[in-house]
Amino acid sequence: DAGITQSPRHKVTETGTPVTLRCHQTENHRYMYWYRQDPGHGLRLIHYSYGVKDTDKGEVSDGYSVSRSKTEDFLLTLESATSSQTSVYFCAISSGSRSGGELFFGEGSRLTVL
């Protein structure tokens, strides 16, 4: 299995509180991604990174920010969590270019916003 660790794996929080999810990789892959998975919507890209301090928005980036200060860590922050952000969040990594390559996914972080 690719060396990807997501933390926390489960979190329950209240509306309006800040939340940070962490993705840590040991593969030294250049590309890192955050997806959310919701019933009926599949996997949707939130943000991605193509290097240290290089990040860009995905399809559903509103309400989320990211940071990548080291190759191995990619943080996803919800500044003020809302109930619509209740979801399962997956981190993925890839060594490939934007022309396509295998994504390796973490085990997911289940977030519940009450």
Partner 1 sequence: GENVEQHPSTLSVQEGDSAVIKCTYSDSASNYFPWYKQELGKGPQLIIDIRSNVGEKKDQRIAVTLNKTAKHFSLHITETQPEDSAVYFCAVQGADGLTFGKGTHLIIQP
Smallest distance from the beta carbon of 16 to partner 1, in angstroms?
29
> Quick one: 53 or 99, whose CB is closer to partner 1?
99
- Does the protein bind partner 1 through residue 53 (CB under 8 A)? no
- Does the protein bind partner 1 through residue 48 (CB under 8 A)? yes
- Choice from 55, 90, 111, 113 touching partner 1 (CB under 8 A): 90
Smallest distance from the beta carbon of 54 to partner 1, in angstroms?
13
Three-state secondary structure readout of 9-54: CEEEECCCCCEEEEEEECCCCCEEEEEEEECCCEEEEEEEEEECCE
- Number of shown-chain residues binding partner 1 (CB under 8 A): 23
Neighbours of 100 (CB within 10 A): 8
- Does the protein bind partner 1 through residue 74 (CB under 8 A)? no
Q: Determine the Cα–Cα distance for residues 96 and 78; give it in Å rounded to an integer.
A: 28
Residue 4 backbone dihedrals phi, psi, to 5 degrees: -125, 130
Smallest distance from the beta carbon of 23 to partner 1, in angstroms?
11
Listed in sequence order, the residues at least 6 apart from 67 whose beta carbon sits closer than 8 Å to its beta carbon are 55, 74, 75, 77
- Does the protein bind partner 1 through residue 41 (CB under 8 A)? yes
- Does the protein bind partner 1 through residue 102 (CB under 8 A)? yes
